[in-house]
């Protein structure tokens, strides 16, 4: 596409760069203001949620199964030592995400066990010597993040989780070194071109792998490779309008792909390969196998944009598999004006646990409700099962009057909604598609 117009390049740049901008915007937000119950969190420290996620946690498709801890990493000051306490067999995972949203390492129950551990987190291209017996996780970018999740069965389990959080620490190997932090985009750039300015500054500071860096050269005509003064400060008005139009087209492309073109059959969409776009940086805890890598590198750009839009910082399917649907068994869009049932004859086969979480659309946020129930799963107390062992969940906006239905009620919003089934440490029947989730049926 050597003859691509500036408008076409801007649209393509939005798709390509959306994950970087979304990721670093979130890292910056956590660092400066916090997220949900996690307060402002300094570089290279863990910020801890004090409770399970609520609708106040403005994070795309946040889960309500685990208590979050988040650490914004700035490795410009050198390596860090990570201490992980013994979880006594309980599920947890520390997911390592680089600036481009690549999941480049995992530490946790599935990948490294639940005993006490120490790891060294190294910056890109580090050539030092770690302490004897300490394994190394090398970050692809100098700014990254750790998203830690500890399984929590409810408020009564929070003291145990908080103690594990307290013992989860990061310690600089080289004390006193100044940190670079996130470079600041020029705030005088017009708002319509702010995305391009952030992308220009951040992709210079945090380059991707060599193959992607080579691909970025195509964006030189629209200023994304310019260093120093921003090219978006005083360009011709028609040029700025063209770029803004291209960015809008790129955004529409990501939104359309996020909804998808799945036929409205009521089937759940378990995109087991949504996070397989990382082809270059597969460290400890990842599965460096062809089945977990997208074959077409160019195709990964839209895939990872959709992942960032709909499930930012989600795990690979072999850690936790996610399935969603927008339609009932008759092919109609899910709508809180109606009532539905979801009947599990057999529970999802997992090594840890499973849940169904309710989200609104189009923001994919947790749904406020009078009983503060945002998910239902195999750990939910008081669920009523049928004599044959099956479990029927009731999805509706209004509170059921029947006691058994109330016990199994997952509240919906009054309008459109999207539920998500999460399966932690999914077994092979989930990963190979043998196990099929039941459809949601209107009542």
Q: Flag whether pLDDT at 262 surpasses 60.
A: no
Q: Flag whether pLDDT at 217 surpasses 60.
A: yes
| Least reliable range by pLDDT among 10-19, 50-59, 355-364 | 50-59
Predicted confidence at residue 106, as pLDDT, reads: 98
What is the side-by-side order of every strand in the sheet holding 136-138?
136-138, 117-122, 80-84, 169-172
Pairwise CA distance, residues 295 & 30, whole Å? 33
Q: Flag whether pLDDT at 257 surpasses 80.
A: yes
Predicted confidence at residue 60, as pLDDT, reads: 73
Q: Is 336 exposed, middle or buried (0-12, 13-18, 19+ CB in 10 A)?
A: buried
Q: Give mean pLDDT, residues 246-256.
A: 97
Kindly state the helix (H) or strand (E) to which residue 377 belongs, with its residue range.
strand 375-377
**pLDDT single digits (tens) 133-188:** 999 999 999 999 999 999 998 889 999 999 999 999 999 999 889 999 999 999 99
Pairwise CA distance, residues 304 & 158, whole Å? 33
- What confidence tier does 362 reach under pLDDT thresholds 50, 70, 90? confident
Where is pLDDT greater, at 160 or 271? 160
- What confidence tier does 263 reach under pLDDT thresholds 50, 70, 90? low
How large a percentage of the chain has pLDDT more than 90? 88
Predicted confidence at residue 261, as pLDDT, reads: 58
Task: Please report, for the chain, how many H helices and E strands are present, in that order.
Answer: 8, 17
Q: Give mean pLDDT, residues 43-65.
A: 87
- What confidence tier does 26 reach under pLDDT thresholds 50, 70, 90? very high
The model's pTM is 0.90
Predicted confidence at residue 2, as pLDDT, reads: 53
Predicted confidence at residue 112, as pLDDT, reads: 98
Q: Give mean pLDDT, residues 79-99.
A: 98
Pairwise CA distance, residues 352 & 347, whole Å? 12
**pLDDT single digits (tens) 373-431:** 999 999 999 999 999 999 999 999 999 999 999 999 999 999 999 999 999 999 999 99
Asked if 98 contacts 308 with a C-beta cutoff of 8 angstroms, the reply is no
Q: Flag whether pLDDT at 71 surpasses 80.
A: yes
Domains, the chain, with CATH or none: 6-18+182-259 (no CATH), 21-172 (2.60.40.1610), 325-442 (2.60.120.1600)
Q: Flag whether pLDDT at 61 surpasses 70.
A: yes
Output the average pLDDT for the chain: 95
**pLDDT single digits (tens) 280-334:** 999 999 999 999 999 999 999 999 999 999 889 999 999 999 999 999 999 999 9
Q: Mark out the alpha helices in 98-169 (DSSP H runs).
A: 158-166
């Amino acid at each position: 596409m050597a003859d691509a117009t500036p408008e076409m390049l801007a649209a393509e740049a939005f798709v390509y760069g959306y994950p970087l901008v979304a990721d670093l915007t979130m890292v910056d937000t956590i660092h400066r203001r916090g997220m949900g119950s996690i307060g402002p969190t300094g570089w290279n420290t863990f910020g801890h949620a004090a409770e399970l996620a609520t609708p106040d946690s403005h994070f795309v498709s946040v889960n309500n199964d685990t208590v979050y801890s988040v650490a914004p990493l700035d490795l410009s000051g050198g390596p860090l030592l990570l201490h992980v306490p013994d979880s006594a067999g309980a599920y947890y995972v520390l997911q390592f995400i680089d600036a481009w949203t690549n999941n480049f390492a995992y530490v946790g129950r599935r990948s490294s066990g639940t005993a006490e551990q120490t790891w060294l987190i190294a910056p890109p291209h580090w050539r030092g010597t770690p302490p004897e017996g300490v394994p190394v996780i090398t970050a692809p970018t100098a700014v990254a993040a750790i998203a830690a999740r500890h399984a929590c069965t409810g408020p009564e389990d929070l003291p145990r989780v908080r103690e594990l959080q307290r013992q989860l620490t990061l310690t600089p190997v080289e004390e006193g070194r100044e940190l670079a932090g996130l470079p600041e985009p020029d705030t005088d750039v017009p708002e319509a071109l702010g995305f391009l300015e952030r992308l220009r500054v951040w992709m210079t500071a945090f380059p991707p792998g060599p193959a992607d860096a080579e691909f970025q050269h195509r964006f030189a005509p629209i200023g994304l490779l310019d260093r120093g003064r921003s090219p978006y400060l005083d360009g011709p008005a028609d040029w700025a309008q063209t770029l803004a139009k291209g960015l809008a087209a790129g955004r529409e492309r990501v939104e359309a792909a996020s909804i998808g073109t799945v036929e409205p059959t009521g089937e759940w969409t378990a995109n087991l390969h949504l996070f397989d776009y990382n082809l270059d940086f597969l460290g400890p805890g990842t599965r460096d196998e062809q089945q977990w890598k997208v074959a077409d590198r160019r195709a990964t750009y839209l895939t990872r944009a959709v992942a960032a839009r709909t499930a930012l910082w989600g795990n690979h399917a072999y850690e936790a598999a996610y399935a969603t649907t927008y339609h009932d068994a008759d092919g109609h869009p899910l709508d809180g004006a109606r009532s539905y049932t979801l009947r599990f004859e057999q529970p999802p086969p997992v090594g840890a646990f499973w849940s169904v979480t309710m989200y609104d659309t189009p923001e994919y946020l947790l749904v406020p409700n009078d009983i503060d129930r945002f998910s239902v799963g195999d750990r939910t107390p008081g669920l009523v099962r049928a004599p044959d062992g099956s479990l029927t969940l009731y999805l509706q906006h209004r509170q059921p009057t029947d006691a058994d239905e109330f016990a199994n009620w997952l509240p919906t919003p009054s309008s459109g909604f999207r539920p998500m089934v999460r399966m932690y440490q999914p077994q092979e029947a989930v990963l190979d598609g043998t196990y099929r989730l039941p459809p949601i049926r209107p009542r």
